[in-house]
Copies of this chain bind each other. A is one copy, B any other.
Amino acid sequence: KRVLNCMCGAFSDKWLDVSRRCGKNAEPLQVPWGKHIDPQQLDAALATGAFDAVTLIHNETSTGVMNPLEELCAVARRYPEVVLIVDTVSSFSAVPIPMDELGIDVLLTGSQKALALPPGFSLFSVSEKAFVRAMQQADRGYYFDFLEFKKNQDIDMTPTTPSIAHINALQSKLDDIFGEGLTNRYERHRRTNARVHDWVRRRGFEFFADESYRSVTLTCVKNNRGIDVADLMKRLRVKHHLVIDGGYGKIKGETFRLSNMGDETEQTVSHLLACLDDCLPPS
């Protein structure tokens, strides 16, 4: 059958290309950038019976959209033949993601976004259903073969020589995370995010993402004031040694992005916002 790629921004859009280059028969479920993946649209697509796998990016950082994971997973659960693959690179550990309860079959994350570790390491978790599907799959490759990982995990081995430094860093980060407490960590993201949102409104900016679908870890600010984003970035960097992103892909300059994920605290976020104020042209 086919894989359905839910696409709502630069990173989720990429999955269609990736799927096809891996030889999959893939179709897009495309919404305009800034919009979220609509559970009803997903339902309609899956009801055709044409698909047995779905890819979804939980938090699309190019647009600042956090997709409604619970509703989308509830839809997917109604189609038992469908394997649900969710990328949580920029949401993992910032909001609760009860994988088993939601029925996520492959949960992917990276080191360098919500986990605030150096890049170069990926983490994933695979459901029993996805293991069974992998067994039925020919030509599934070697490097990311779930069954190869499982076989080695059963004997307490890594499938290939791993990046030891990243594993140590992850262990240290997990200690930090459980030291802070998951609930506290989720709350911290809510609070720092609210602080960014408050700043956006007070400075007369708008949000690129619709209300109710705004990411809790990254805010994509619409440049409705028509400021020179490149100049703002430069001033911020030169004067305050801070780096923000001036918009990704086709919305570069029309947006800019403020992250509050990972290790960001109320103090660091407030500092960033104060420095932004210092560099912003008068409204």
Q: A-side interface residues toward B, CB under 8 Å?
A: 17-18, 21-23, 110, 112, 118-121, 138-145, 161-166
Question: Is the CB–CB distance between B142 and A18 below 8 Å?
Answer: yes
**Extra pairs beyond A21-B140, A21-B141, A119-B163 (15, CB < 8 Å):** A18-B142, A21-B139, A21-B145, A22-B142, A23-B138, A112-B161, A118-B164, A120-B121, A120-B165, A120-B166, A139-B139, A143-B144, A163-B163, A163-B166, A165-B165
Question: B141, A22: Cβ atoms under 8 Å?
Answer: yes
Known: A112-B161, A161-B110, A163-B163. A21 touches B142 (CB 8 A): yes
Chain B contacts for A162, CB-based, 8 A: 119-120
Chain B residues near A163: list those with CB within 8 A.
118-121, 163, 166
Give the number of copies in the complex.
Answer: 2
A159 → B minimal CB distance (Å): 11
Q: Contacts A110-B161, A112-B161, A161-B110 given: A22-B118 contact, CB under 8 Å?
A: no
Q: Is the CB of A139 within 8 A of B18?
A: no
Cα–Cα distance between A23 and B141 once the two chains are bound (Å):
7
- The answer to whether A141 and B141 touch across the interface, beta carbons within 8 angstroms, is yes
Alpha-carbon distance between A165 and B21 when the two chains are bound, in angstroms: 29
Q: Which of B120, B139, B165 contacts A23 (CB 8 A)?
A: B139
Q: Give Cα A163–Cα B143 distance, bound, in whole angstroms.
A: 17
Contacts of A165 in B (CB 8 A): 118, 120, 165
Interchain CB contact under 8 A, A161 and B119: yes
**17 A-B interface contacts by CB (under 8 A):** A18-B142, A21-B139, A21-B142, A22-B139, A22-B141, A23-B23, A110-B161, A112-B161, A118-B164, A118-B165, A119-B162, A120-B161, A120-B163, A120-B164, A121-B163, A139-B139, A141-B141
